[in-house]
Structure 1
Amino acid sequence: MTSRRRFLGLAAGAGVGLAIPIGSATYAHLAGESTGALLTSALPLPEPFAVPLPVPPQARAVRSADGTDFYQLTQREAAVEIVPGTKTTVWGYDGIFPGPTFVGRSGRKMVVEVENKLTVPTSLHLHGGVTPAHSDGYPTDLLLPTQCGAAMRNGSYKSHQGEHGMHVEPSDWKVMEGLKSYEYPLEQRAATLWYHDHRMDFSAPQVWRGLAGMFLVRDDEEEALALPGGDHEVPLMLCDRAFEEDGSFRYPGVTPSCIGEPGVEEAYMDGVLGDVQLVNGAPWPVLDVSNTRYRLRLLNASNARRYRLRLDKGEGGRLPFVQIGSDAGLLSAPQRLDALPIAPAERFDVVVDFADCPVGSEVTLVNTLADGRMRQVMRFRVTRQEKDASRVPDQLSKAAAALDRGASVAVRQFDFRRTNSGDGAMWTINGRPFNTSEALATPRLGTVERWRFSSDFHHPVHVHLAHFQVISRGGKPPAATDAGWKDTVDVRPYEVVEVLVRFDGFKGRYMLHCHNLEHEDMAMMANFEVV
């Protein structure tokens, strides 16, 4: 850690741009593949592959009118069993972790009324949603608890102003108490989205405690393809956590209550890695499957952990993934992949065919970037034979056609790095910490721009509202796993990733930021204004 911090300090001193003549291989030797520090549990860890995979319930509309479906969602505490034999208090949407899975229809408006029964402010972000600015979950657009105290009502949640070099204009606090309605027009393609907390300075600990869930959008094009569905379509939310001896979540926050001083202990500024692998909120679970195709909606909902996923068969062989979709929807054509690198907040929509796996065999999903127990993710157990009417066609979506570089009307640079200042090191974009009164770009609605992301570290870069296509990585063609329309891309150490960003949907103030949540909470965010 010391040598890496010294290295990062030298890199930060070089200023904005790729001024340090060092390759990513050298950096990997210094920093390793993992981004963050391991937080170990005080609780004895459960044996892998001992609990069934839970599937979150689907959210149900409370009413529908004039082409709009209305939902209600309550943020509240609940005691749930995550580690067998113990209870963990989660901050959950409807008191569960993960929250209920929303399933929307392209072109059909959804309104979600959220009630905050927690003890802290929240801000709900639909990640990957083409959403009006007032419902996007800007970090200072807060929903206070229903029964908040006078101190919170009078602004104690603002006491962090100036932390990590940030500047927040007093007029940028938009506060509601108890209830807020979020509007989602869903004028977008079928895709695997997710929703999570986005509160200023406290996104990391509040997501860690459970404020996350999946959100699927469907459309006619997707449903005409005869892809695996029903019980053969499985959402898989991957994340890591650590636990105290009493079963509660362990997190190295400066203020465990999430009211007061933000941030983490210094050893965890690079990111927090847990030592318990969860899938849909269960540790190292098992899913019984038939010898047919399954559609897996993979989401990396970890604060900082990166995965390189592989499917290992018990006899030593491997199964491939057939990728059919990326963050923002289906690919133009399927592609076969032996491994899937997934940075925080990325999604991969894949089909896995168990046809050649005999009944009684097992397939293990592993993370080749981890060691020990954390190398294991979950297991599939083939328990029965079934007929398979699903298929993966050679052509998936015409809307996934590649953009022309010549469509770009502007080129912009965004450099993500750790920068030294008089107050210490900060995570910055273009050498500047987050400032609510600044916009680093003013793209025009309906246009395409070329954005260049550079980095001194592993930074998963997320752009709100706008979707993009990766056109180069490190001066070379993009990787196969960069395919399709995306909203998050992993920018590796000392690498430039170029993307073509299309600004559709709405005007207003939106954000780009690092989705390592500890980095985000420590100022690695910036505004852009769609005009």
Structure 2
Amino acid sequence: MRRRAFLGTGGAVLGAGALAAAGWPLLSDYVREGRPGKLLTSGADLPKPYRTPLPLPRVLEPVSKSATTDAYEITQQAAELEILPGLRTKAWTYGGTFPGPTIVSRSGRRTVVRHRNELDRPGVVHLHGGHTPAASDGYPTSLILPADGSYDAHRVAQDMSGGSHGMSVDHGAMDLAAGARTYTYPFEQRAATLWYHDHRMSYTGVAVWMGLAGFHLVHDDEEERLPLPRGARDIPLMITDRSFAADGSFQYPWVDKELHTPGVTDAYMNGVLGDVILVNGAPWPVHEVERLRYRLRFLNASNARLYKLELDPQPEGGDAFVQIGSDGGLLAAPRLHDALEIAPAERFDVVVDFSRYRPGTKVRLLNRFGDGSTAEVMRFDVGAGSPADDTKVPRQLSDVPRLDPGRATVTRDFHFRGSSAGWTINGKEYEPGRALARPKLGRTEVWRFTTNFHHPVHLHLDHFQVVSRNNRDPGAFDHGWKDTVDLRPAEAVEVVTRFTDYAGTFMIHCHNLEHEDMAMMGDFVTE
């Protein structure tokens, strides 16, 4: 089915019967197969799983410190990496690695990051989950031009306009920095697992696929007072999927391999799925653990793939994952799960007690939404002995005030649709500078998201709390402060939020990166 015909089935919210009538799978098929998206099969010979040790991204050291501020420098650069054994992969990287280096910040202490662009194309950096002034939020046309001077405003506008989605941008909508840009993050927010990634209009999908993503962790006193696992037992895990050509290069279904025209080929307009699962940049890695509690910070950094993560074997009695945090930091109290359903850009902070396993147990982390090579994620090999463990998960984690939707001053509707006009929000393809909403700072609002297909919806500036799904209670994975919510086909989700501190232009968009690149974004302006 061609793109326009496919999107033309989506003029209204579609139920399961309508999806089937349109020639598309039932909702149960979307969930079981981890849809949306289409699999891009690798041309390279794939390695057997559990042969590569889990890499841990290096922690970046500040280049300077003052009484209030930590300053960092990152160079965006091409690098040849060995991701598949024996093959070389050209990646676009932060600092020469994939993932990029981890930045660790302190709540209440300013972090300043200077990004220098030594790639051969423009970029934008967004701190995902950051409570950030508009000038440092990573607006999709606030570009860092290549340091070699190969781009000017005219060429940038040409590259970002047109293509299969019809978006366009003029010179007046762009904020161009020559060679480098400095981002300032005040971190007036609680401890949380954040991440940074490219956010360039029309090219986010290919840029992240090529390697432009990294962790940014925030700590605070409240979290550190808790007896949770820390140090080597506090492990960030970036889960992605990729496809590789026979020579080891990243494989992506771009319309134009020179990337002067945005978009993917028709078959992949609903998202690109790879057949290689990477964790911290390694294929199906293995990690040795002691019989102790570990804190695992799961991030789904895939372009479009959904995961249902489950341990195999399950520990006796179940409840393998003790969730302690979400996108926006600690939950009020822990929640127990046998499995975690995690959409693109979501984070789940969990504790796993490996003392519940016998010494020598090999515990696989599986993806129940995958099959074949995508059903395996990584493995934990449990060591011998029974070392003393001075950690625990308290019954009370944090004081999380609830926003009262009954006190909202405004309720706004955002319809995420596929139609003959493209991937749209409220019937409109993205246009820089056109605001879909103008919320007042400090006022509580309810935002209602509806859809005909699957969209992980991401909100910039402030986190939100999920109020309901289809007028029922929030789902099992909706608790705590969120910045991304998994919006399923034919579903309505209500969230409550309050924007604070920073006036300016921010974004709401789908975090299926192919949908985002093909116009499913909108501005909102806080006043």
TM bin (shorter chain)? over 0.9
The answer for the alignment partner of 2:467 in structure 1 is 471
**Structure 1 residue 384 displacement after superposition:** 3.3
Q: Partners in 1 of 2:29 and 2:312 — Cα distance? A: 29
Q: Partners in 2 of 1:310 and 1:4 — Cα distance? A: 35
* Correspondence 1:188 to 2:189: yes
Query: What is the CA deviation profile of residues 29-57 of structure 1, one whole-angstrom value per residue up to 9, with x for unaligned ones?
Result: 57564111100111000001111000000
Q: Partners in 2 of 1:380 and 1:318 — Cα distance? A: 17
Q: Partners in 2 of 1:22 and 1:429 — Cα distance? A: 24
Secondary structure of the 1:250 match is: coil
The answer for the alignment partner of 1:300 in structure 2 is 300
Q: Partners in 2 of 1:236 and 1:19 — Cα distance? A: 35
Partner letter of residue 423 of structure 2? W
8 A Cα contact 2:403 2:497, kept in partner? no
**Structure 1 residue 440 displacement after superposition:** 0.8
**Structure 1 residue 169 displacement after superposition:** 4.0
When normalised by structure 2's length, the TM-score is 0.95
The answer for the alignment partner of 1:77 in structure 2 is 78
Runs of 4+ in 1 over 3 A off after TM superposition: 2-8, 18-27, 29-33, 314-319
* Correspondence 1:432 to 2:440: no
CA RMSD of aligned residues (A): 1.9
* Correspondence 1:330 to 2:330: yes
**Structure 1 residue 505 displacement after superposition:** 2.6
The answer for the alignment partner of 2:492 in structure 1 is 496
Partner letter of residue 361 of structure 1? T
8 A Cα contact 2:101 2:214, kept in partner? yes
**Structure 1 residue 359 displacement after superposition:** 1.3
Residue 272 to residue 157, structure 1, CA distance change in 2 (3 Å): same
* Correspondence 1:516 to 2:515: no
Deviates more, 1:292-301 or 1:305-314: 305-314
The answer for the alignment partner of 1:256 in structure 2 is 257
The answer for the alignment partner of 1:454 in structure 2 is 450
* Correspondence 1:130 to 2:131: yes
Residue 194 to residue 123, structure 1, CA distance change in 2 (3 Å): same
Q: Partners in 1 of 2:91 and 2:17 — Cα distance? A: 43
The answer for the alignment partner of 1:146 in structure 2 is 147
8 A Cα contact 1:63 1:70, kept in partner? yes
* Correspondence 1:266 to 2:266: yes
Deviates more, 1:351-360 or 1:102-111: 351-360
Partner letter of residue 486 of structure 1? K
The answer for the alignment partner of 2:364 in structure 1 is 364
The answer for the alignment partner of 1:373 in structure 2 is 373
Partner letter of residue 436 of structure 2? L
The answer for the alignment partner of 2:526 in structure 1 is 530
Q: Partners in 2 of 1:315 and 1:482 — Cα distance? A: 24
**Structure 1 residue 5 displacement after superposition:** 7.9
Partner letter of residue 101 of structure 1? T
Q: Partners in 2 of 1:322 and 1:377 — Cα distance? A: 19
Partner letter of residue 76 of structure 1? Q
Secondary structure of the 1:101 match is: strand
Query: What is the CA deviation profile of residues 242-298 of structure 1, one whole-angstrom value per residue up to 9, with x for unaligned ones?
Result: 00111110011112233x100001110000000000000000000100011000000
Secondary structure of the 2:264 match is: coil
Q: Partners in 2 of 1:214 and 1:84 — Cα distance? A: 24
Q: Partners in 2 of 1:489 and 1:351 — Cα distance? A: 22
Residue 498 to residue 488, structure 1, CA distance change in 2 (3 Å): same
8 A Cα contact 1:312 1:319, kept in partner? no
Q: How does 1:83-482 map to 2 (within 5 A)?
A: 83-149=84-150, 152-159=151-158, 160-163=160-163, 164-258=165-259, 260-313=260-313, 320-385=320-385, 386-398=387-399, 400-421=400-421, 426-482=422-478
Secondary structure of the 1:157 match is: helix
Q: Partners in 2 of 1:10 and 1:201 — Cα distance? A: 24
When normalised by structure 1's length, the TM-score is 0.94
- Count of residues in Structure 1 that have an aligned counterpart in Structure 2: 518
Q: Partners in 1 of 2:307 and 2:18 — Cα distance? A: 22
Partner letter of residue 216 of structure 2? F
Gap regions ≥5 residues in structure 1:
none
Gap regions ≥5 residues in structure 2:
none
Query: What is the CA deviation profile of residues 316-375 of structure 1, one whole-angstrom value per residue up to 9, with x for unaligned ones?
Result: 985610000000110000011111100000000000001121111111111100111210
Q: Partners in 2 of 1:45 and 1:455 — Cα distance? A: 36
Partner letter of residue 502 of structure 1? R
8 A Cα contact 2:293 2:389, kept in partner? yes
Q: Partners in 1 of 2:334 and 2:369 — Cα distance? A: 25
Aligned-residue identity in percent: 53
